[in-house]
């Protein structure tokens, strides 16, 4: 079963140096969806060690739960965030949401 459009929650504004949690979830898809996050249409790597785009940003991305946690945000984390839920039957994307730091 193809995933339905996931529900995404993105904080509107986060003070520099604070943590921020972004959530993405849908429960129609079967098999269970995995989640990937995008900032300004660029994919965020699940592993920050290999990501050149993250500008030393410290975040944890859990593809199984759809949770993206920034441990200490900085100005470079400002942007439009969206999430894609994917399974064997297809994928669905939530609307982009702005997060300001």
Half-sphere exposure for 96 (CA within 13 Å, toward CB):
12
Contact 93/3 with Cβ under 8 angstroms?
Answer: no
Domains parsed from the chain with CATH numbers: 7-99 (2.60.40.10)
Q: Which of 53, 57, 46 is nearest to 86 (CA)?
A: 46
pTM for the model: 0.89
Tell me the backbone φ, ψ of residue 78, rounded to 5 degrees. -60, 140
pLDDT in tens, the chain (101 residues): 999 999 999 999 999 999 999 999 999 999 999 999 999 999 998 765 555 554 556 899 999 999 999 999 999 999 999 999 999 999 999 999 999 99
Sign of CA dihedral 53, 48, 34, 98: negative
């Amino acid at each position: 079963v193809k995933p339905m459009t996931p529900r995404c929650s993105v904080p509107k504004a986060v003070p520099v140096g604070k943590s921020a949690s972004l959530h993405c979830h849908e429960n129609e898809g079967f098999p269970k969806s995995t989640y990937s996050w995008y900032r300004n249409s660029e994919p965020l790597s699940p592993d920050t060690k290999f990501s050149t785009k993250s500008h030393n940003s410290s975040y944890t991305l859990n593809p199984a739960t759809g949770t993206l946690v920034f441990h200490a945000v900085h100005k470079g984390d400002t942007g439009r965030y969206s999430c894609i839920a994917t399974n064997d039957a297809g994928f669905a994307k939530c609307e982009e949401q702005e997060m300001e730091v």
